[in-house]
Amino acid sequence: MFETIVALATPPMKSALAIIRLSGDDVLTIVSKCFTRNIENITKKEMYYGSIVDNEQKIDDVVLLAYKGPKSFTGEDSVEIICHGSMLIANQIIQVLIKNGARLATNGEYSSRAFMHNKIDLVQAEAINDVINATTAEAKNISLLSLDGKASEKIVPIKTRIADVLSLIEVNIDYPEYEDIEQANKDTIVNLANELVPQIDLLVAEGNKAKIIKDGLKVAIVGKPNVGKSSLLNALVGEEKAIVTDIAGTTRDIVEGDVNLGGLTLHLLDTAGIHDTDDKVENIGVEKAKNSIYQADLVVLVIDNSRTIDEEDKKLLEETKNLRRIVVLNKSDLEGVAQIEGVTISAGNNDIQNLILKIKEVVGLDEKSFKTPALNNTRQIGLLQNVKENLLKAKDDIENGLTIDLVSVSILEAYTSVLEILGEANQMDLAKEIFSRFCVGK
Ligand SMILES: Nc1nc2c(ncn2[C@@H]2O[C@H](COP(=O)(O)OP(=O)(O)OP(=O)(O)O)[C@@H](O)[C@H]2O)c(=O)[nH]1
Ligand SMILES: [Mg+2]
Residue 18 maps to a domain: yes
pLDDT for residue 437: 65
The radius of gyration computed from the CA coordinates of the chain, to the nearest angstrom, equals 29
User: Which residue puts its alpha carbon closest to atom 10 of ligand 1?
Assistant: 228
- Both 388 and 352 in a single domain? no
Residue 74 maps to a domain: yes
Nearest to 286 by CA among 230, 220, 224: 224
pLDDT for residue 357: 94
* Pocket-forming residues, ligand 1, beta carbon under 6 Å: 223, 225-231, 244-246, 248-251, 272-273, 330-331, 333-334, 346-349
Q: Which atom of ligand 1 is nearest to the CA of 270?
A: 20
How many whole angstroms from 325 Cα to the centroid of ligand 2? 19
Q: Which atom of ligand 1 is nearest to the CA of 349?
A: 31
- Both 225 and 354 in a single domain? yes
Question: What gap in Å lies between CA 232 and CA 353, rounded to an integer?
Answer: 11
Question: What gap in Å lies between CA 307 and CA 311, rounded to an integer?
Answer: 12
pLDDT for residue 108: 86
Nearest to 25 by CA among 96, 128, 117, 120: 117
Phi, psi of 100 (to 5 degrees): -95, 10
Phi, psi of 110 (to 5 degrees): -65, -45
End residue of a domain, out of 336, 365, 394 = 365
End residue of a domain, out of 333, 365, 397 = 365
- Both 166 and 275 in a single domain? no
- Both 251 and 168 in a single domain? no
Domain of residue 204, CATH code: 1.20.120.430
Q: Do residues 28 and 98 make contact, with C-beta atoms less than 8 angstroms apart?
A: no
Question: What gap in Å lies between CA 170 and CA 437, rounded to an integer?
Answer: 12
Q: Which residue among 234, 240, 244 has the greatest number of ligand 1 atoms within 8 angstroms of its CB, and so is best to mutate?
A: 244
- Both 14 and 88 in a single domain? yes
Minimum-distance ligand to the CA of 349? 1
- Both 254 and 325 in a single domain? yes
- Both 347 and 429 in a single domain? no
pLDDT tens series, the chain, 442 aa: 899 999 999 999 999 999 999 999 999 999 999 999 999 999 999 999 999 999 989 999 999 999 999 999 999 999 999 999 999 999 999 999 999 999 999 988 999 899 999 999 999 999 998 998 899 999 999 999 999 999 999 999 999 999 999 999 988 888 777 777 788 889 999 999 999 999 999 999 999 999 999 999 999 999 999 999 999 999 999 999 999 999 999 999 999 999 999 889 999 999 999 999 999 999 999 999 999 999 999 999 999 999 999 999 999 999 999 999 999 999 999 999 999 999 999 999 999 999 999 999 999 988 899 999 999 999 999 999 999 999 999 999 999 999 998 999 999 999 999 999 999 887 777 666 666 666 544 4
Quickly list H helices, 21-104: 27-33, 87-99
Residue 145 maps to a domain: no
Q: What is the extent of the structural domain holding 288? A: 216-365
Minimum-distance ligand to the CA of 352? 1
Residue 26 maps to a domain: yes
User: Which residue puts its alpha carbon closest to atom 17 of ligand 1?
Assistant: 228
Sign of CA dihedral 352, 357, 361, 363: positive
- Other Cβ atoms less than 10 A from the Cβ of 237: the count is 18
How many whole angstroms from 247 Cα to the centroid of ligand 1? 9
In sequence order, what E strands does 255-324 have?
255-261, 264-270, 298-304
- Other Cβ atoms less than 10 A from the Cβ of 439: the count is 9
Give residue 304's Cα distance to chain centre.
37
Residue 149 maps to a domain: no
Q: Do residues 417 and 159 make contact, with C-beta atoms less than 8 angstroms apart?
A: no
Question: What gap in Å lies between CA 181 and CA 325, rounded to an integer?
Answer: 54
How many whole angstroms from 341 Cα to the centroid of ligand 1? 20
Residue 295 maps to a domain: yes
How many whole angstroms from 267 Cα to the centroid of ligand 1? 21
- Both 282 and 182 in a single domain? no
pLDDT for residue 425: 82
pLDDT for residue 438: 60
Give residue 34's Cα distance to chain centre.
40
How many whole angstroms from 214 Cα to the centroid of ligand 1? 32
Residue 134 maps to a domain: no
3-class secondary-structure state, position 120:
coil
Residue 125 maps to a domain: no
Give me the number of domains the chain comprises.
3
Q: Do residues 284 and 309 make contact, with C-beta atoms less than 8 angstroms apart?
A: no
How many whole angstroms from 237 Cα to the centroid of ligand 1? 16
Number of alpha carbons in the 13 Å side-chain half-sphere of residue 135? 10
- Both 227 and 361 in a single domain? yes
Domain of residue 247, CATH code: 3.40.50.300
Question: What gap in Å lies between CA 299 and CA 274, rounded to an integer?
Answer: 14
- Both 291 and 419 in a single domain? no
User: Which residue puts its alpha carbon closest to atom 12 of ligand 1?
Assistant: 226
- Both 355 and 222 in a single domain? yes
Question: What gap in Å lies between CA 329 and CA 346, rounded to an integer?
Answer: 8
3-class secondary-structure state, position 90:
helix
- Both 283 and 341 in a single domain? yes
Domain of residue 25, CATH code: 3.30.1360.120
Helix (H) or strand (E) segment spanning residue 126: helix 122-133
Report the alpha-carbon angle 265-383-406, nearest 5: 160
User: Which residue puts its alpha carbon closest to atom 23 of ligand 1?
Assistant: 251
How many whole angstroms from 229 Cα to the centroid of ligand 1? 7
Q: Which atom of ligand 1 is nearest to the CA of 226?
A: 21
How long, in residues, is the chain? 442
CA dihedral 438, 179, 415, 442 (to 10 degrees): 30
